[in-house]
Structure 1
Amino acid sequence: MKAVVVEQYAPIDQIGLQETGMPVAGPGQVRVRVQAASIGFVDGLKVEGRYQTKDPLPFTPGAEFAGVVDAVADDVTRFTPGMRVMGAARSGALAEYIAVPATAVEIMPDGLSMEAAAAFRTNYLTALYALGERGTLRAGEQLLVLGAAGGTGIAAIQIGKLLGARVIAAASTEEKRNFAARFGADAVVDYTRADWRDALKDATGGHGADVIFDPVGGEVSLQAFRSIAWNGRHLVVGFAAGTIPALPFNLPLLKGGLLIGVDVAQIARREPEAQTRVMTQLSTWLNDGKLVPVVGHVFAFEDFRAAFRTMQTRAALGKMVVRIGS
């Protein structure tokens, strides 16, 4: 089978497709013929060896995928060959086949495309866990989403609306702001402008943001916290800007604000009940048609490098998806 193989940590232009052995579905596992896989910011860091944990070499990047069950171990009863599934793994999704524990996949809702299913799990799990479990976002509150046109940003806009919030989307270009508005943002602001906090103040009627969803980091994070409402919650999701801000401790005191970390990679181990609640709610919204995952640009398998480059240059609208099989 063909797979993207990282033999040495390197820029994506130095990584290629290779012929590799077919994975075997071991005890408790299923093998999936992958039809689509998505690319996230973490995937780019892992390829270059810059993530906080390193995958042992050689490895195949890609965590999220959708496809058709190809084989199952004798002790797996929930899945049978031919079922359409979506799932997530530590790595291995940018390949024609992947073998994962049966607990790592779930049956796809009817009508959901392979591309949408591949773009779904991590972004929407992060958004609902952050906003619902960590930020306790309530109906009628003001939600500020930074990096609003990216994969997690668009998910946060959609989830925020489903939770009843008024959503202000912050993004760096007119194209990105229009994209955010198309998927539900009530107002948009350009956080590259020196006076963007004035625009945010106007957008919130002088109230400030009750909750800030922040996958960006850098200077914009500090400026956003300065505009937080009393008892506001600033959710730290990631650092796409490439720099980690240092918050002066007097700001939380003056604002009565909370700085809250959101690490989706630790939910299953540390808060399994919360993950179950979140995934159950997301599945309900999916099956009811209230939530339709946003798919960004779709790339052919042989063009996987372009998917990484688009994501790494922060030019992405939504999540990048690689179509692997038909």
Structure 2
Amino acid sequence: MKAVLADDLEAIESYRLRDADRPRIGPDEVLIRVEGCGVGYVDALEALGRYQVKPALPFSPGHEIAGVVEEVGREVSGLSAGTRVIALARHGFAEYVAAPASMAFPMPAAMSFAQGAGFPLNFLTVLHGLRDRGQLAAGETVLVFGAAGGVGSAAIQVARAMGARVIAAASTGEKRDYALANGADAAIDTHPEGWRDRLKAACGGAGPNVIFDPVCGPLFEPAFRSLAWGGRHLVVGFVGGPIPALPAHLSLLKGAALCGVDVRQYMLFEQHRLRDDFRQLLGWAAHGGIEPPVGEIFKLEEFADALNLALSGKARGKIVLQVAASPATA
């Protein structure tokens, strides 16, 4: 089979499309013929050795898989050869992957492989963030930064599915239009001058109850200052540049909370919850409550372009690497 591999993590140019052995599966695993693999900012960081945990070498990026089950382990039930699945696994930039059967789920009939490939981590991050860390309630208002990106787009949809009103913050008119088309109720720019007044107007004279923030850029403190009483600011990532600081007294004055959202550790420490999480998310997808947005699609041999775009933070929707020869949109 073909796989994208590197023997060092010095640069994206270290990676090559190489011949590799097809994975052998254990008794509780499934072998998946990969149709598409999601590509996000974290994938690019991990590929360069800049993420929290450095991978073993040789390394192939990619964790979000959409494909077709080729083979099942002897202890696996509920999945069979030919089943279309989404899965969380490792080394997804490859034609075949071995995935734990516990982390492979049948795809809704209406979901394309491209949608499935961009689904698992973004939507799981958002559900964990808004539900567990943000304690979002129906009728509240959510401000989403980076609203045109992969995780921001997912945040808009999950917040709406939970009954919230969504304000999308994005840097360009094109991105704001994208967020509105994706379900946001309103959209605002990110120009600092007068920004808090524009946010207040978008919130109907109050402030947001929850801020979903994968950017943590120059508007980090102004956004926190704009929270409604008892608000929650969710720190999801730092694509906005230098990591900002926050004066501690603001949490007291606002009765507000600054909450970290780390899906990697959530998956590590609360793994027993993941299957129910995915059942809820896939149930929403099956019944039209959410519709995973697809961004740019790259062929397997274009993996470097996909990683560079993910690293830039300029993508709209979720980047997908089309692995199989057949269209990833099938």
Calculate the TM-score normalised by the size of structure 1. 0.96
Task: Please tell me whether the aligned partners of residues 133 and 259 of structure 2 are also in contact (alpha carbons under 8 angstroms).
Answer: yes
The aligned counterpart of 1:81 is 81
Q: Is the 8 A contact 1:221 1:245 kept in 2?
A: yes
CA drift at 1:124: 0.8
Q: Which residue of 1 aligns with 2:103?
A: 104
- In 1, are the aligned partners of 2:7 and 2:14 still within 8 Å (CA)? no
Matched, 1:232 2:222: no
- The separation in 1 between residues aligned to 2:228 and 2:276, in whole angstroms, is 28
**1:149 equivalent in alignment to 2:148:** yes
Q: Deviation of residue 243 (structure 1)?
A: 2.2
The CA distance in 1 between the partners of 2:243 and 2:206, in whole Å, is 27
- Asked if 2 retains the 8 angstrom alpha-carbon contact of 1:12 and 1:47, the reply is yes
Q: What residue number does 1:126 align with?
A: 125
Match of 1:51 in 2: 51
What amino acid is aligned across from residue 205 of structure 2 in structure 1?
G
Give deviations 1:106-136, integer Å, cap 9, x for gaps.
Answer: 1111121101001111111111111122211
The CA deviation at 1:56 is: 0.7
Q: Is the 8 A contact 1:119 1:295 kept in 2?
A: yes
Matches within 5 A, 1:233-252: 233-252=232-251
Which amino acid is the alignment partner of residue 24 of structure 2? V
Offset of 1:289 from its aligned partner? 2.2
Matched, 1:26 2:26: yes
Q: Contact conserved, 1:129 with 1:275, CA < 8 A, in 2?
A: no
What count of residue pairs does the alignment treat as equivalent? 325
Aligned mates of 1:95, 1:276 — CA distance in 2: 25
Deviates more, 1:20-29 or 1:112-121: 20-29
SS at match of 1:144: strand
The share of aligned pairs that are identical, in percent, is 47
Question: Residue 52 of structure 1: CA displacement?
Answer: 1.0
Secondary structure in 2 aligned to 1:33? Answer: strand
Whether the aligned pair in 2 keeps the contact of 1:149 and 1:176 (CA below 8 Å) is yes
CA RMSD of aligned residues (A): 1.4
The CA deviation at 1:276 is 4.1
Is 2:176 the partner of 1:177?
Answer: yes
The verdict on how the C-alpha distance between 1:276 and 1:97 changes in structure 2, with shifts beyond 3 A counting, is closer
Alignment pair present for 1:219 and 2:230: no
Hey, what's the Cα distance between the residues in 2 that align with 1:166 and 1:77?
40
Residue equivalent to 2:12: 12
Aligned-partner Cα distance in 1 for 2:262–2:245 = 18
User: Match of 2:304?
Assistant: 305
Instruction: Answer yes or no: is 1:268 the counterpart of 2:267.
Output: yes
Cα deviation code 1:271-313 (max 9, x no counterpart) = 3454344322212111212211111111111111111121211
Kept in 1, the 8 Å contact 2:110–2:286? The answer is: no
**Where does structure 1 differ by over 3 angstroms across 4 or more consecutive aligned residues?**
272-277
Alpha-carbon shift at residue 198 of structure 1 (Å): 1.5
Conserved? CA contact 1:6–1:61, under 8 Å: no
Q: TM-score normalised to the size of structure 2?
A: 0.95
Matched, 1:2 2:2: yes
User: Residue 257 of structure 1: CA displacement?
Assistant: 0.6
Partner Cα distance (2:314, 2:101) in 1: 35
Q: In 2, distance between residues paired with 1:269 and 1:45? A: 19
How far off its partner does 1:167 sit? 0.7
Letter matched to residue 4 of structure 1: V
Structure 2 vs 1, CA of residues 247 and 274 (structure 1 numbering), >3 Å: closer, same or farther? Answer: farther
Kindly provide the amino acid, as one letter, of the partner of residue 302 in structure 2.
D
| Cα gap change, 1:264 to 1:81, in 2 (>3 Å) | same
Cα distance in structure 2, aligned partners of 1:52 and 1:34: 26
| C-alpha separation in 1, matches of 2:129 and 2:41 | 18
